[in-house]
Amino acid sequence: MSTTLHTNQIIPLLDQYGSLADVEVVEETGSTNADLMARLHLLQAPVLRVAERQTAGRGRAGRVWRSVPGGVLTFSLAWRFRRQAQGLLGLPLAVGVAVAEVLLAQSVPVQLKWPNDILKDGKKLAGILIETSPVPDQDGGGTWTVIGIGLNLSIPHELEAEIGREVADAPWLAQMDRNTLMAHLLNALAKALQQFEQQGFAAFTGRWNSMHAYAQQMVRILDQGQIVHEGTALGVDANGCLSLLTAQGPVTVVAGDVSLRPV
């Protein structure tokens, strides 16, 4: 079993979808997302960039994503869509579906938390950060996306203390060959992104709702720490918006920098 990531061990495991992306593995970098965002104007094809260690990993809303070598799988995928940015509503949820389905296939019991976290035992196992950049019309138009994912494999107590809250990990996955795991994830993501290009989030709505961690539970939606909605979480619609049943009636919540918390 290989505990070290190698480009030449990932590539032979890629299928027709995963093979669409070039693969890069680096020992250490600040942020795989930042690396790819800086190079978008040079890219000719999708690129997967995987780092053994990130020193400046980022999560949503500017949060720091902490990792340890071998304990967290950190990677980013640059992917160009023909769609404009406004046509990418629901993309973080579609990515969550693709990753969660890979983990479920490996017997890791996961659920999805709107808008873009993957939970195990009610705690965060993986997070998704998507950044976008428009492609100039003279270059064919559309949107480059950089999809960053951090997946906890084995979290030491010191790192959990540094994070400041309980997080989940997956010892079963930590025992798996990480090149095989990375190949499974890239295959699933590339297939999902092609499907999203053609059908939008509508192709993922039912799949997302089947893994909804807080279905029919009371939740609060917070914006910068302030409660903006409270009600029963019903599920997501074809745009990836969350439907809530509040005391005042139904409300549709659009994903942005809002957060969801169980009541």
Q: Are residues 60 and 80 in the same domain?
A: yes
> Does 204 fall in a domain?
yes
| Alpha-carbon gap, residue 185 to 183, rounded angstroms | 5
Q: Are residues 31 and 78 in the same domain?
A: yes
Q: Which domain holds residue 252?
A: 218-262
Q: Are residues 198 and 239 in the same domain?
A: no
Q: Residue 133 above 80 pLDDT?
A: yes
Q: Are residues 20 and 61 in the same domain?
A: yes
3-state helix, strand, coil split of the chain in percent (to 5) is 35, 35, 30
Q: Are residues 75 and 28 in the same domain?
A: yes
The percent of residues in the chain predicted with pLDDT above 90, rounded, is 72
Last residue of a domain, one of 210, 230, 247: 210
The amino acid at residue 98 is A
> Does 185 fall in a domain?
yes
Q: How many domains does the chain have?
A: 2
> Does 150 fall in a domain?
yes
| Alpha-carbon gap, residue 36 to 132, rounded angstroms | 11
Q: Are residues 143 and 229 in the same domain?
A: no
Paired residues of 218 in beta bridges:
232
Q: Are residues 66 and 86 in the same domain?
A: yes
> Does 22 fall in a domain?
yes
Give tens-digit pLDDT for 171-193.
888 889 999 999 999 999 999 99
Helix (H, G, I), strand (E, B) or coil at 197: helix
Last residue of a domain, one of 210, 228, 254: 210
Give the pTM: 0.91
Give tens-digit pLDDT for 83-107.
998 899 999 999 999 999 999 999 9
> Any idea what the CATH number is for the domain that residue 257 is in?
2.30.30.100
Q: Where are the strands (E) in the chain, listed by range?
A: 22-29, 47-54, 72-81, 111-113, 117-120, 123-134, 143-152, 218-223, 226-236, 242-246, 249-253, 258-262
* CA 25 to mean position of chain CA atoms: 19
> Does 156 fall in a domain?
yes
Give tens-digit pLDDT for 206-222.
999 999 999 999 999 99
> Does 2 fall in a domain?
no
The mean-pLDDT minimum among 1-5, 47-51, 173-177 falls in 1-5
Q: Are residues 166 and 258 in the same domain?
A: no
